[in-house]
Amino acid sequence: MNVLLLDDSDIVLARMCEVLADVSCIKEIYSTKNIDNLFSILAVKKPEIVLIDTSLPDKSGIDVLRKIKQISSIVKIILVTNYPTEHYKLMCKENGADYFIDKSTAFETIPSILEKECSVLAD
């Protein structure tokens, strides 16, 4: 499975890559800080999972989520946030997010989510 990461922080992208490095079913990890690059990578590499930061400098992660779901409804989306309010979580789910992760308390759950998704894809 291929995974695409979108976050405006080099530190967070590096940390995500580090956390995902031990997930055995990941074939490739692509990362970008740029929304335009995200859609180019999405079109060419066709990742099965996309992790998106909800707070981006030029667009909301929810806007990016909506656009991805318009392009491909089968891509699984994990939104990661520092704003884990119930209202925000509900808004993300209503717009097609498959998972909603609090960066500060649940970041380490991402590998198990990806392992679960790998087993679903394998079936």
Q: In whole angstroms, what is the distance from residue 100 CA to residue 65 CA?
A: 12
Structural domain including 93 reads 2-122
Cα atoms in the Cβ-side hemisphere of radius 13 Å centred on 51: 28
Report how many domains make up the chain.
Answer: 1
User: Digits of tens for pLDDT over the chain (123 positions)?
Assistant: 999 999 999 998 999 999 898 899 999 999 999 898 999 999 999 999 999 998 888 888 899 999 999 988 899 999 999 888 899 899 999 999 999 999 888 888 999 999 999 888 776
Largest CA distance in the chain: 38
Q: In whole angstroms, what is the distance from residue 48 CA to residue 23 CA?
A: 14
User: What one-letter code names the amino acid at 71?
Assistant: I
Q: In whole angstroms, what is the distance from residue 6 CA to residue 32 CA?
A: 5
pLDDT at 93: 94
CATH number at residue 33: 3.40.50.2300
Q: In whole angstroms, what is the distance from residue 38 CA to residue 117 CA?
A: 21
pLDDT at 123: 65
Q: How far is CA 87 from CA 14, 90, 97, 117, in A?
A: 29, 5, 14, 26
Rounded to the nearest 10 degrees, what angle do helices 61-71 and 86-94 cross at? Answer: 20
Identify any residues that bridge with 2 across adjacent strands, giving them in sequence order.
28
